[in-house]
Structure 1
């Protein structure tokens, strides 16, 4: 097995990526690619687990997500970017792992339970959605990844992956698979621009990386602040104030933000001034990303070529893991 620390991350291509993705993972991926062996998986099959009735939504966003990756600074010469559906070993590993995971264990996974509730699934729950923790385990182990950057809501997925690793290794009698550990973000989950606890494409409260100047302006000036802060002279609350949450996440001058918080708490600082500061910050952050992204999306052949090259590289890695798993289990290897 590879002794170098290997990172696997990924996204479901169900829409363009947004500021929540940027602060939660994309900016970190740009830094990590210089020091680790990093793979990013465009998880189109997992995108279908709740979009099986509209596959065109997933298909049309694959290159959109590719453009987002490159626009923020992910370098395909340093990071392997690959397509989940182009790696048949992932599907076969998923099937193998499904036979050592019980339905009861999947039902106890709090991440799955929360998402089922959020999406309103009852008896209409797709089987693929229920078992996507097993699919994620297949993704992680296929690349022998030992580091997985996630939000704290995804920790149950890492736990379940490691359970599968231990069960499989016990069956084979040898450490075929590597356990992994989570790398948690330094920043908390970014709330939606509407104040909802989660920024989400499906909830319609996300600010995409491709947002125009006008879209940024409208989003910032509609943000929730402190409803009791009626006059500039009134003391204001920072807790639950979306504008200050975003300033904490994105403003480069932390000392200035700290001074603004103190000023707001004692009174004398207006919401409009705070929003103007945040808008200036976000306009500066997103303008170069938006320009670069616009250039990239005009060249779909180039984006597809990068994805094909990365998928071919990943194919060899994942097939080798599948070979080792099947050999360890005593199953015939027909490739």
Structure 2
């Protein structure tokens, strides 16, 4: 089986904000200590909707990486790289496109949703139709079997799994596959080989899931198998061929609860954001200008926190004591709206302070960021090249 590896990415389309931090980057910082993580600047993906404004992509790439580093993503624990600097992504995308039915792409739920949301743009392009397949190639090129996504992105991971399954079915069986699998069983030794055969029979004839798990565990513990033989036997156990590309699983992440300055979801398109590197003065100004409960026309008017966007930010940043103070002070007109906003301002500024300190080092010396990305691209490309060797061999494209 393939080792647990996480692939995730972000499109460089502007300054990152606290919604990105709470929704993605905090999770990345956690995952990097648990898994082999690859975090990608998805610049080709940005072109699917911003092909008419490439300047924003170019200007955002390095600033976005600085934001990642500022938020606690560690290049010593994770691989950070730029998608377009690993051309194997494009090669795998091309090869997968040869076996991907058009209907699979047209049925993606985000295809029509995005067309409606971005109706002002001409998205009748192959790049936009095919971006889920490029996304699948991004995952599969690293044999990433774990993809951190929210509920709305689960269909993309399921699509990736279907693509891997179709590829393995079409190309996973070598001409002498069964003979090679039988030879690999002998390498397990008499006792383990016999047990493997028994477990394989129980799974394939009776659908015994426990037998499948036991067979996988047996192969995982086998010390004398080459990687090729191991993958061959995983496929043989399940009744298929050699597993060349893994079937990825979604690693569900909690939806970001970070509201914007107007109560809606924090988003650049709503112009309601606090960016990761806004100064304390800017944060204070933005929060102080937030709308509040419309019933509080005068300072002496009582209000209802449930009707105030600031209350949503208290849910993110304030402890129970502060929230009780807000509830009592607002409903009794004991505190004014500016007083209510101050704890939010203080908490936001405190959250951003370590991020801004980390970012300063990279802002002062941009070569540090370039070097991190250069190293990450080199590591990423080595893994991608190994995958492509196996893919080309399976498809008969080595011509050796």
Fold-level match, TM-score > 0.5?
yes
Matched, 1:48 2:115: no
Deviation, 1:187, is 4.4
- Stretch deviating more after TM superposition (181-190 or 86-95): 181-190
In structure 2, do the counterparts of structure 1 residues 181 and 223 end up closer, same or farther at CA, with 3 Å as the change threshold?
farther
Q: Give yes or no for contact 2:25–2:71 (8 Å, CA) kept in 1.
A: yes
Q: Give yes or no for contact 1:238–1:265 (8 Å, CA) kept in 2.
A: no
Deviation, 1:264, is 6.7
Structure-1 residue corresponding to 2:100 = 101
Q: TM-score, normalised by structure 1?
A: 0.88
Distance 2:257 2:156 in 1: 17
Count of equivalent residues? 329
Q: Give yes or no for contact 1:237–1:264 (8 Å, CA) kept in 2.
A: no
Q: Secondary structure at the match of 1:35?
A: coil
Deviation, 1:258, is 5.0
Distance 2:158 2:120 in 1: 24
Q: Give yes or no for contact 1:248–1:257 (8 Å, CA) kept in 2.
A: no
Distance 2:323 2:157 in 1: 35
Q: Secondary structure at the match of 1:192?
A: coil
Q: Secondary structure at the match of 2:147?
A: strand
Distance 2:295 2:398 in 1: 67
1:106-185 aligned at under 5 Å gives the runs: 106-121=105-120, 123-171=122-170, 172=172, 173-185=241-253
Matched, 1:36 2:35: yes
Deviation, 1:147, is 1.8
In structure 2, do the counterparts of structure 1 residues 319 and 256 end up closer, same or farther at CA, with 3 Å as the change threshold?
farther
CA-to-aligned-CA distance 1:120-142 (integer Å, 9 cap, x gap) = 25655332122211111111111
Q: Secondary structure at the match of 1:188?
A: coil
In structure 2, do the counterparts of structure 1 residues 74 and 123 end up closer, same or farther at CA, with 3 Å as the change threshold?
closer
CA-to-aligned-CA distance 1:248-303 (integer Å, 9 cap, x gap) = 33x2x543355357537854554333311111100111123123323312312111
Distance 1:224 1:104 in 2: 46
CA-to-aligned-CA distance 1:227-257 (integer Å, 9 cap, x gap) = 3455666351437x432333333x2x54335
Distance 1:142 1:128 in 2: 19
Bigger proportion of residues as helix: 2
Structure-1 residue corresponding to 2:282 = 215
Structure-2 residue corresponding to 1:92 = 91
In structure 2, do the counterparts of structure 1 residues 118 and 334 end up closer, same or farther at CA, with 3 Å as the change threshold?
farther
CA-to-aligned-CA distance 1:137-194 (integer Å, 9 cap, x gap) = 1111111122222222222212221221222222223322222222333343533323
In structure 2, do the counterparts of structure 1 residues 165 and 274 end up closer, same or farther at CA, with 3 Å as the change threshold?
farther
In structure 2, do the counterparts of structure 1 residues 223 and 180 end up closer, same or farther at CA, with 3 Å as the change threshold?
farther
Structure-2 residue corresponding to 1:246 = 313
CA-to-aligned-CA distance 1:87-140 (integer Å, 9 cap, x gap) = 111111111222333333323322232222222256553321222111111111
Q: Give yes or no for contact 1:7–1:37 (8 Å, CA) kept in 2.
A: yes
Structure-2 residue corresponding to 1:227 = 294
Deviation, 1:66, is 1.3
Structure 2 residue runs without a partner (length 5+): 173-240
Structure-2 residue corresponding to 1:281 = 347
Q: TM-score, normalised by structure 2?
A: 0.75
Distance 1:314 1:86 in 2: 9
Q: 1:196 aligns with which of 239, 258, 264?
A: 264
Cα root mean square deviation, aligned = 2.5
When Rg is computed on C-alpha atoms for both structures, the one with the higher figure is 2
In structure 2, do the counterparts of structure 1 residues 304 and 229 end up closer, same or farther at CA, with 3 Å as the change threshold?
same
Distance 2:12 2:293 in 1: 35
Structure 1 residue runs without a partner (length 5+): none
Distance 2:325 2:242 in 1: 57
Deviation, 1:208, is 1.2
